[in-house]
Amino acid sequence: MKIAPRFPLRIFYDGSCSVCSSAMARYRVKGGGGKLKFIDISAPEFDPVAYGIPLAEFMYQLHAIDRNNVVYRGVDAFGAIWRAFPASTGYGILATVLSLPGFTTIARLGYRFFARIRRFLPKQKAACADGSCKIGRHRLG
């Protein structure tokens, strides 16, 4: 991550993805001091046009947008989220580790793998009732 996020940070996550939802639930419980706002991109009322990012791109990887409209994607989004927590906490330590040379590359490789298999992970059935949680099978270029 090149620049530190300016809070509050809007986190765009797929609420129909069980792994994604549980990660966001953990961040909600930990709090972040009101620095984090959660937006479920699988909700029927979500409109990606308002953000200038296609829904397929939102669905492909985690996005976070800060107060200055800087967009963080994938691993950088996680780094931005973790910076909402004090440096002495587990998430704060993860943010520091992620900024060390070499760790970002490893994390990006791991996240790229996760992004590719995510569509095969269990869905939250209630969130998919209207079909809005369908994830495209094509990788964005």
Domain count of the fold of the chain: 1
**Does any domain span residue 48?**
yes
Predicted pLDDT at 124: 65
CA–CA distance, 10 with 93 (Å, rounded to integer): 21
CA–CA distance, 114 with 121 (Å, rounded to integer): 10
Per-residue pLDDT of the chain (141 residues; tens, 9 = 90+): 678 999 999 999 999 998 899 999 999 998 878 999 999 999 999 999 999 999 999 999 999 999 999 999 999 999 999 999 999 999 999 999 998 989 999 999 999 998 888 878 777 655 455 554 444 433 444
Residue written as tokens 């001091």?
33
pTM: 0.82
Task: Return the amino acid letter for 77.
Answer: A
Predicted pLDDT at 92: 93
Instruction: Report residue 99 as tokens.
Output: 């900024």
**Does any domain span residue 133?**
no
**Does any domain span residue 131?**
no
Q: Tell me which residue range forms the domain holding 36.
A: 9-125
**Does any domain span residue 97?**
yes
CA–CA distance, 77 with 1 (Å, rounded to integer): 8
Predicted pLDDT at 101: 83
Predicted pLDDT at 22: 92
**Does any domain span residue 90?**
yes
